[in-house]
């Protein structure tokens, strides 16, 4: 009842800050991924080279980190947009719930792809 008059107590600072942190993490892993795939390999990129790289647990960890940063960054960005433009609490809850479902689905598919290789 008091939240109606005093706000929810959430300023959005946490979401704003970690949007920037995930963006930096995303850039670091993106440049590492791009450098390894396009500059660190001799000759053209082949399926055998990609499979050799993905057989390493260290590269799987880097790819999973890249996946987590990308999903968090995208879904948090959509959540910030929903918070800014959707004012109905019911519709906002439905949209944020749909974002959670999408995030979990994308994470599951990404992990399945990376770990099974």
**What is the rounded CA–CA span in Å between residue 11 and residue 16?**
9
Does some domain include residue 6?
no
Q: What is the CATH number of the domain that holds 102?
A: 1.20.1300.10
Per the structure, the complete domain to which residue 40 belongs is given by 12-116
Does some domain include residue 103?
yes
Q: What is the pLDDT of residue 68?
A: 93
Find out whether 72 and 18 touch, Cβ atoms under 8 Å: yes
Question: How many domains does the structure of the chain reveal?
Answer: 1
Does some domain include residue 72?
yes
Q: What is the pLDDT of residue 8?
A: 54
Each residue's pLDDT, cut to its tens digit, for the chain (117 residues) gives: 445 555 455 667 888 888 999 999 999 989 988 888 778 777 888 888 888 888 889 989 989 999 999 999 999 999 989 988 998 999 999 999 999 999 999 999 999 999 986
The reported pTM is: 0.79
* Six-digit token string for 37: 């795939």
Of 65, 61, 55, 67, which Cα lies nearest the Cα of 106?
67
Does some domain include residue 7?
no
- 7 three-state secondary structure: coil
Does some domain include residue 45?
yes
């Amino acid at each position: 009842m008091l939240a109606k008059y005093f706000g929810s107590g959430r300023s959005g600072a946490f979401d704003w800050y970690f949007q920037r942190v995930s963006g930096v993490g995303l850039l670091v892993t993106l440049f590492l991924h791009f450098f390894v795939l396009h500059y660190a390999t001799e000759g053209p990129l082949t399926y055998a080279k990609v499979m050799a790289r993905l057989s390493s647990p260290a590269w799987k960890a880097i790819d999973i980190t890249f996946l987590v940063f990308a999903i968090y960054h995208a879904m948090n960005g959509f959540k910030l947009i929903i918070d800014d433009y959707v004012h109905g609490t019911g519709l906002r809850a439905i949209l944020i719930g749909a974002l959670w479902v999408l995030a979990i689905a994308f994470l599951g598919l990404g992990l399945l792809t990376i770990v099974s290789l």
